[in-house]
Structure formats: C-alpha cells, structure tokens
Amino acid sequence: MFLEKILKSQPYFVEKCINLHQNGKILPDSYVVDVNSFVANATKIYEKASKKNIRLFFMLKQVGRNPYLAQKLVQIGYSGAVCVDFNEALLMMKHHIPLGNVGHLVQIPKQLLKKIMAYGCEVITVYSFEKLREIQTIAHELGIVQKIIVKVVHNHDILYSGQESGIHLDVLENFIVDVQTLPNIKIVGATAFPCFLYDNNQEKIVNTNNYHTVISAITIMKQFGLNIEIINLPSASSCEVIDLIDLENVVLEPGHALTGTTPAHVLEREETPAVIYISEVSHHYNGESYVYGGGHYRRSNIKHALINHTLINITPPNDAAIDYYFKVNGLHPISSTVVMSFRFQFFVCRSRVVLLENDEIVGEYTCLGELYE
C-alpha cells in the first residue's frame, strides 16, 4: 500500500534495511521503524497542534506498544499514552510512561482498576454506569476524584464490529444525573470513535457522524454546568486533521500518523512513511515463491513486494488462514530479501519490531513491547 511511496521518499532507509537483513542483522518477519522519521513526524504534529492549543495523547498499539517510542514522544511534549486496552496500560506503567486516557476502546477490568488508578491516569473512558460504580469505589479508597470522559453514540454513527459500545445520546442526560450521585467521579468530556475518516473519493479526511455526536454531547454536558476539559476526537489524528479543528479543549490521539501510514498517506501528506516489513523467500511451490509471514493484518491492502529491486505482485493468505506465508508471483532465489510496506497493527501479529536510529539498531522488541535480550 505504501511501498512505492516509501521507495521514493526513503530509499536510503530501505537499502539500509536490505543490507542489514542480508548481513544477518534482521530476521524475516520483522517490522523496521525508522526512529528518526518517526520523531520528525511526531514533532511536526506536536508543533502544529500547539499552535492551535490542541493537546495530544499518543496511540502506540499499532507499533506494538513500544516503550522506546513512547519515551521519545514524552520528551517531545505529548501529554501521555492513550491505552486502548489494559495490557497496554500495564506496559506503559512498567516503563514509567504517563497515562493520558485508559478505557477506550477496552474498559479496565475490575481487578486492575486500583492498580491503574493508583498509578494515575488523567482520564478514564467509560460507557456504563456499572463501571462507574466500580471506579467510584476505588476512587473513594484512594481518596481521589477520578476524571472520566464518556464514550457517546447516536443513530447512524459508525460502530466497528467488536467495538460496539457507548452511552446513547438520547439517555445522556439521565446518565449525567446518575453520575452526579458519585462524589469521587468528575465528568470532564466526551469521546467517540471514529470521529474522522479518509474519504477515498474526495481524497481527504472528513469528519463523521460520530464527530457530531461528540459535539452534541458536549453541549448537553455544558447545560448541566460541567466544566469541559477534553473534547476527544480520535481517528486519523494528523496534521491534516489539526487543520480541520476549530474548537477549544480538543485532545487528539496521533497513532498511524506518527509513522505516516494512515489511509490518507497513500497520497502526499505532511508526515513521511517510517515503517517497512522485511522478510525473505522461504521456498517455491507450483511455480510461485513463498515468503515468511507472521505480520499480516487483514486490512493491510498489500499489493506489491520489492525483491532484488523489482516490484512483484503479492498475495496474502485469506482471512480464514494463519499467515504462515505470503505468495509472490514467479520464482525468486531462496533467502532473497523481501521488502513490503502496508497497513499494520503490530499488536495483533507475532513479528519482531526493529528500531533503526541513526543507521544503528537500537532495540528489538516483541510486537507487544517487550525487549528481546
């Protein structure tokens, strides 16, 4: 999906990775992150957001919850991590990374609430009163007032399979009244997902129904006299989205934009692609070459691979299969380096994550953020 673009914008990075693989420094089924480009993208987004008083949490699940990259973002000035699930929160805590938003997309289990809240997170996203009761109990024990933001939903909003949740806008007023009975809970804003998406026909990012639901929810909250600190508008957070924002108290969550790999980045954008996937030819079968897999994501939109400086058509396994191999058209020498660049989510893969900074490998991690010794 991004291969031709990264070959044009980052040819030296690609060649460096090929050489490292051929010299035995990078194993097949490895994602390689150009840390310098990552930091440049992150800095560009941060500086642009700062000019509009937009705060930034960072989203790193797509690059394997990587703590090294998290530390880079904290140094730039990002407010903290947005952890889409509790395992990511635990990893960030292990590495002393500040927690910005925990609970969206996955709620914090009851048995982990105290540990996470005692560590401290700026806000917890909730979408049930029952979860708020649990948070209230722990907040009372800790002697704190926990700030929360409410995930809201309305008719015709986008809800991805496996992510169905939210307080319906029609019952939000009743929900707020109930929350006001909990003395250790403070509502400070609202969120939904996705609030922005790339429109292929228009070739630009546009806001969604979910965006308008959040704005409507904020209006209702203000009618109750709530002090709004966070209007959280996640998805496709990038320089392009920042240009679309004309609101106060907005918090965005750059994720794929940090690596220049949102769907919009197929075309020219301010951020630069900063990740490639390295593999090698394993074997031949029936006139085709098969390449080590392990890093395929079913929404990858993969089309080509680079083998011996030639773009070759590639076929991923179907969604019902385990991605042991990719199939590549034609016969290519066994153990040849294969370069790909496509949409990814490291944390649902089994690949290695290699960080390349200033032409040196500075760390190899699992796809869940643990360092290989």
pLDDT tens per residue, range 203-223: 999 999 999 999 999 999 999
- Whether residues 221 and 142 share a domain: the answer is yes
- Whether residues 246 and 135 share a domain: the answer is yes
pLDDT tens per residue, range 130-181: 999 999 999 999 999 999 999 999 999 999 999 999 999 999 999 999 999 9
**What mean pLDDT do residues 259-281 have?**
93
327, part of any domain: yes
**What mean pLDDT do residues 22-33 have?**
98
C-alpha span between 119 and 125 (Å, rounded): 16
Bridge-based pairing state of the strands 55-58 and 204-207 = unpaired
- Whether residues 214 and 301 share a domain: the answer is no
Angle at 237 (CA atoms; ends 305, 263), nearest 5 degrees: 30
**What mean pLDDT do residues 353-361 have?**
97
227, part of any domain: yes
Please give the pLDDT value at position 107: 96
**What mean pLDDT do residues 294-316 have?**
90
- Whether residues 200 and 281 share a domain: the answer is no
Model confidence at 316: pLDDT above 90: no
- Whether residues 203 and 274 share a domain: the answer is no
The residues near 312 (Cβ < 8 Å, ≥ 6 apart) are 304, 305, 306, 328, 329, 330, 332
- Whether residues 209 and 338 share a domain: the answer is no
Torsion of Cα atoms, 279 then 284 then 288 then 290, to 10°: -30
Cα-flanking dihedrals φ and ψ of residue 133, to 5°?
-60, -40
Cα-flanking dihedrals φ and ψ of residue 236, to 5°?
60, 20
Domain boundary among 199, 229, 253: 253
Model confidence at 184: pLDDT above 90: yes
Q: How confident is the model at residue 361 (pLDDT cuts 50, 70, 90)?
A: very high
Domain boundary among 201, 221, 253: 253
- Whether residues 297 and 246 share a domain: the answer is no
216: domain CATH number is 3.20.20.10
- Whether residues 202 and 281 share a domain: the answer is no
- Whether residues 144 and 190 share a domain: the answer is yes
239, part of any domain: yes
Task: Report CA 283 to chain centroid distance, whole Å.
Answer: 34
111, part of any domain: yes
What's the token pair of residue 258? Answer: 């940090």
Please give the pLDDT value at position 298: 83
Q: How many CB atoms lie within 10 A of CB 51?
A: 9
Model confidence at 104: pLDDT above 80: yes
Please give the pLDDT value at position 291: 97
Domains in the chain: how many in total? Answer: 2
Which long-range CB contacts under 8 A does 72-75 form with residues at least 24 apart? Answer: 72/35, 72/38, 72/39, 72/42, 73/42, 73/258, 74/98
Contact 301/3 with Cβ under 8 angstroms? no
43, part of any domain: no
The residues near 197 (Cβ < 8 Å, ≥ 6 apart) are 158, 205, 206, 208, 235, 236
Q: How confident is the model at residue 292 (pLDDT cuts 50, 70, 90)?
A: very high
The residues near 296 (Cβ < 8 Å, ≥ 6 apart) are 302, 316, 317, 323, 326, 349
Model confidence at 313: pLDDT above 80: yes
What is the model's pTM?
0.95
Q: Where are the alpha helices (DSSP H) in 163-315?
A: 172-179, 209-223, 239-244
Q: Which residues pair with 371 in a beta bridge?
A: 365
50, part of any domain: no
52, part of any domain: no
Model confidence at 1: pLDDT above 90: no
Q: How confident is the model at residue 299 (pLDDT cuts 50, 70, 90)?
A: confident
- Whether residues 248 and 321 share a domain: the answer is no
- Whether residues 86 and 216 share a domain: the answer is yes
Domain boundary among 208, 225, 253: 253
339: domain CATH number is 2.40.37.30
- Whether residues 317 and 249 share a domain: the answer is no
What's the token pair of residue 59? Answer: 């989203």
Please give the pLDDT value at position 252: 98
Q: Where are the alpha helices (DSSP H) in the chain?
A: 3-9, 11-22, 35-51, 67-76, 86-94, 110-119, 129-142, 172-179, 209-223, 239-244
Query: Which domain does 113 fall in, by range?
Result: 79-253
339, part of any domain: yes
Query: What mean pLDDT is reported for the chain?
Result: 96
